[in-house]
Amino acid sequence: MLTGATLVFLVASHSLLLVQQAQALSLKVHKHHRPATTNSARSLNPHNSTGTGRRQLAARLDPEPLDLDNAYDLYYSTDLTIGGQQLSVQLDTGSSELWVRPGNAFTAIQAQVSTNSLSIRYGIGSFTGNITTADVVMGDITIPKQSFLTYTTGAIDNVFKAGLDGMLGLGFDDGSHVHTTVSRNGGGDSGRTLLSNFFVNNPEQPKTMSFAMSRLNDGTDDDGLFMIGEPEPEYAAVKTQPAHPLRINDTPGDFQRWALYLDAIEINGKNITGLQSVVKGAPAGKLVANIDTGTSLGWMPAAAVDAIYKDVPGAVYFSETDQYTVPCMTQLRLAFWFDGVRYPMHPLDVTRVGQSKPDADGNRQYLCTNAFVHMAALAGQTATLDLQLGDSFLRNVISQYDFGDLTDAKTANIRMLTTVPDELAAMNDFLQVRAKQIGVAAPAPVTELPGGTIAGGTPTTSATATSTGTTMTIDPTDAPAPTEVPGTPEQDPASDGNNSDGSTPETNTPSDTGAASSLAPHLSAAVVLLSSLALALW
């Protein structure tokens, strides 16, 4: 049950009437399946050398022999009312822009659409939009005169094919080109991000946002929660978890990301060795990892991907797409370490289910591919990230993003509460769910974990960057090995690769940190906005 005090705002000609409410606000969160596309493989864009944001990625047309299940290719979205129209927007901590394509053109009463335009480029598409000002409503909370982009033209159809109307960027103000442009043209603070304007006008609220994401096909119908301000009581323990400070990005011309320093990647009880950061100034032994809700998968160095999947019995590597297939019942025990705290992954989030193209008789074969993949753009002298940890990682934690004082990223941090407190239970949950996904009988429960028990401290260092997984022989994909090249896993069109806005405007020891009560959130989908202070009258 939602608790807390909130305020309802009645809007009339951009004036606000304050009404006290006793209950919290909630907005439903939706999961959208990724549409099929042939824009699957990605390469560096030779026409841009400004860093490793999405702007550096380009798409090429390649065949896609593998139709992947949507368990790992999802958009998490919520509904906003903008200029009187309800619009579904993707939740993206990797960008800072709010942009939409309304179902009907905004009228002069609904919004003020300027002739000032910005061109935004993502890895697999781009669009142009006009800077617009309108009231934005989240539940009963109204942010008046918010600036954003209204889509006018472009090629970013995957967003729309997924049933989305745009994106809500949840990054910092310095990553918003709308904010920069509006401020430069005398528009004041209306160009700040939507959350910045919410927090500025609600100073007594903690400047935090929290996520509890569930996975598809995990035996529940829950999508999870997105909480702005004080988290729900069920997730209040995240507030007491270690605060991981952000990696401060001082690269000229770049912007601040929700990026952390990663201690280690652990596979089956051992660290992956030989990994070195490509980010200039990164401390020895650390990697820079962006924590991004707008990316479906996890992107990491090739050596790390090989260490996780290469030596799995039955694994097949396809150089054409830089991708592995593994037997679908393979149990891999993956964990990430931040500041001495260990965050284990549920095995369901380490591989993903797909099907081959039909053969001459129309039959398909189940194939499972790596959910943590290599991206070539995460390299080079201008790199600002080593890893991109998206929803495949975030489904395994309750995450709280703290903006600090909103002006200095050194005061910002991320806290995470594991949702995998019992790894053995997760392994057996995997066996039940995955067997159902591929239509086979579930095997007997396992009693041991790959790599043994992690009792404390950092994991044992492996001699080589390799791993093996536990494979159940009932898997129909054990034999024969696939003979077709699977298509490269897709990403969220608005969150390619290194994420964190990535848009290019154009001029004109593990701690006892507690755990959530289940392997995945068992709550109805909602966005919770807890507020005890009125928005200032504008």
Residues acting as catalytic residues: 92, 292
Residue bearing tokens 């990605």: 42
Residue 55 contacts residue 121 (beta carbons within 8 Å): yes
Angstrom distance (rounded) from CA 228 to CA 209: 4
Element spanning 438, H or E: helix 423-438
Distance CA 22, CA 39 (A): 48
Assign 3-state DSSP to the chain and report helix, strand, coil percentages, each to 5: 15, 35, 55
Cα(390)–Cα(51) distance, rounded to whole angstroms?
19
- Name every residue whose Cβ is closer than 8 Å to that of residue 107 and which is 6 or more positions away in sequence: 83
Both tokens of 202, joined, read: 């609600």
Whole-angstrom distance, CA of residue 129 vs CA of residue 111: 14
C-alpha count within 13 angstroms, C-beta hemisphere, residue 25: 21
Among 146, 234, 121, which residue's Cα sits nearest to residue 516? 234
Q: Transcribe 127-161 into DSSP letters.
A: EEEEEEEEEEEETTEEEEEEEEEEEEEEE-HHHHH
Q: List residues bridging with 39 in a β-sheet.
A: none
C-alpha–C-alpha distance, residues 370 and 352, integer Å: 6
Tallying the residues shown for the chain, one arrives at: 538
Measured distance CA(55)–CA(389) in Å, rounded: 18
For residue 416, the one-letter residue type is: M
Q: How far apart are CA 451 and CA 270, in angstroms?
A: 7
CA distance 190 to 197: 8
Distance CA 207, CA 400 (A): 10
